[in-house]
Amino acid sequence: MTQTPEAITTKPDPVTQPTLGPLGWVRWAWRNLTSMRTALQLLLLLAVAALPGSIWPQRSINATRTADYIAAHPTMGPVLDKLGAFEVYATPWFSAIYLLLLVSLLGCVLPRTRIHLRHVRGRPPRVPAHLSRLAAYSSREVDADPAAAVADLRAALGRRYRVDVRDGHTLAAETGFAKESGNLLFHLALIGIIVGVAIGHVFGWKGDVIVPVGSSFSNTAINYDTISPGPRVDTAELPPFSLTVDRFDAVFEDRVRGDAQFGQPRDFTAYLRTVAEPGAAEKAQVLKVNHPIEMDGATIFLLGNGYAANVTVKDSRGEVVYKGATVFLPRDNNYTSSGAIKVPGAQPQELGFFGNLLPTAVITKDQGPISVFPDAREPAMALGLYEGELNPGGASGSVYTLNTKEMTVVDDANGKPLRIWITPGETVQLPDGRGSITFESVVRWAGLSIRHDPAKDLTLWSSLLALAGLLASLLVRRRRVFARVTPLAAGGSRVEMGALSKGDDPGLQEHLDRLAARIAP
């Protein structure tokens, strides 16, 4: 019995799709992670992940500002805090990107380095059968025999080429290994920078402090205005050095009145006495901008400067309730400086002075009290006064501003807000028996940034090596030159030459022609 064609049904063989086992998936993930495309994507992702650190205040740098931001944004603040927006560089997700980038670069660069070293030690490849198909080609006839022509060509290539002569009539030469070496050096140095930054973040620390002239500073965490220790740093183990600011000299341009350069800074110099550890001898040192002082375990930089007011506040009985140098922060190029004098010991209510310290003071019709020159030539203070609770609820605040939430302004005898204009050596009586304030003198202060980075040498040398590797990879030409010399029946030889270059090389043909011209005719 025969079947009709309609009765015959053909079933194709099932197509089996290859499946990856656990080891296969691991290999697939590793290949993708260690590709250069993935490394570039992770580098871009790291830059994007670092953006929140420049948008929102960071708790490790300024905890007070961070707390104020969260309090001012009761809805978004706590959400951002849970996401780590206020401590970006210590979050698990930022660390994960950082580690993945490091692993990706290592997995990408190390195999390439091994292959490159094998090529450097190996012989150049054999001469291709068809030299005319190469990017550059040259052919000429010479009177010399093949051995002499090959010798001339070998001498023309010089020491920059690694030359391999085979069978006495073919020649292969390579140059420009420094291009790939520079490329690998750049990536290895980039790994060094990443490792150095990570070590500095984990085991390093930095702090900023303002020290008025005549005052001292001991290197303990509590004495810093702001301090940012690494996760593995014990602030109780900071180097036990101390310093005293004896003098601060500032030079400003004052010989070109009416010019844009008038009042511009020319030089800042701080004269310090440092003690490396308790009981050690004092050492006089000079600190300037871009000329830091090296201490054991720390480096001291001159970060800023300004003025502080030595003031004395007395109560109605003549008892001193506040005395010391109060720092004011400059807010323009003429050092018009703002600040606050907080008197927690005043009775019956705490007092808070606010206003400006003016190094060269004038009162203008449009701007009011301002400074017209950054040097302290005619100093004065313009102050107002509040009374009440300086720190409501026990919350800490900036020492340079007043929290007037639980305070009221003090009026003068006419019922208007009190305004105090006071110069050095002058005493002003406060209304309604609140005591007095005396402006003793003006002193300069030095803003110091003290840092410890255990990997700074690694980061510096890695940066220099990365620059050298980048220059080598951009400037060096990677070239291969091949030649075949064939004897002619009538005597002499025919020299065929071809050349290849890695990347765009518009001068390759010209280079090959110069080499051919050096063979004796």
CATH code for the domain of 497: 3.30.310.80
pLDDT at 4 > cutoff 70: no
Q: Is residue 464 part of a domain?
A: no
CB 498 within 8 A of CB 131: yes
Q: What is each CA distance from 90 to 57, 59, 231, 514, in whole angstroms?
A: 14, 11, 8, 59
Beta partners for 480? 174, 500
One domain for residues 319 and 171: no
Q: What is the phi/psi pair of residue 388, to 5°?
A: 145, -145
- Nearest residue to 88 (alpha-carbon basis) of 56, 61, 53: 53
One domain for residues 90 and 134: no
Write down the pLDDT at residue 16. Answer: 53
The single-letter code of the amino acid at 364 is T
Number of folded domains in the chain?
Answer: 3
pLDDT at 10 > cutoff 60: no
Q: Is residue 319 part of a domain?
A: yes
Q: Is residue 11 part of a domain?
A: no
One domain for residues 402 and 263: yes
One domain for residues 342 and 253: yes
One domain for residues 242 and 374: yes
CB 342 within 8 A of CB 390: yes
One domain for residues 253 and 150: no
The separation between CA 304 and the C-alpha centre of its own chain, rounded to angstroms, equals 19
Q: Torsion-angle region of residue 318: left (phi > 0), alpha (psi -120 to 50) or beta?
A: left
- Nearest residue to 516 (alpha-carbon basis) of 49, 131, 194: 131
The separation between CA 517 and the C-alpha centre of its own chain, rounded to angstroms, equals 52
250: its two tokens: 């500032």
One domain for residues 356 and 273: yes
pLDDT at 396 > cutoff 80: no
One domain for residues 390 and 418: yes
One domain for residues 127 and 249: no
CA atoms within 13 A on the CB side of 462: 16
Write down the pLDDT at residue 5. Answer: 47
Write down the pLDDT at residue 11. Answer: 53
Domain end marker among 105, 136, 164: 105
Q: Is residue 258 part of a domain?
A: yes
Average pLDDT, the chain: 91
Q: What is the phi/psi pair of residue 357, to 5°?
A: -105, 125
pLDDT, tens only, 428-446: 999 998 999 999 999 999 9
Domain end marker among 72, 105, 138: 105
Indicate the pLDDT class of residue 1, thresholds 50, 70 and 90.
very low
Q: Is residue 270 part of a domain?
A: yes
pLDDT at 12 > cutoff 60: no
pLDDT at 3 > cutoff 60: no
Look up tokens 């290592």; give the residue: 106
- Nearest-5° Cα angle at 498, 497 to 504: 145
CB 445 within 8 A of CB 360: no
pLDDT at 53 > cutoff 80: yes
Q: Which domain holds residue 506?
A: 123-176+477-517
One domain for residues 160 and 287: no
Write down the pLDDT at residue 503. Answer: 86
Domain end marker among 416, 437, 452: 452
Q: Is residue 12 part of a domain?
A: no
By CB atoms closer than 10 A (0-12, 13-18, 19+), residue 445 is buried
Indicate the pLDDT class of residue 258, thresholds 50, 70 and 90.
low
By CB atoms closer than 10 A (0-12, 13-18, 19+), residue 389 is middle
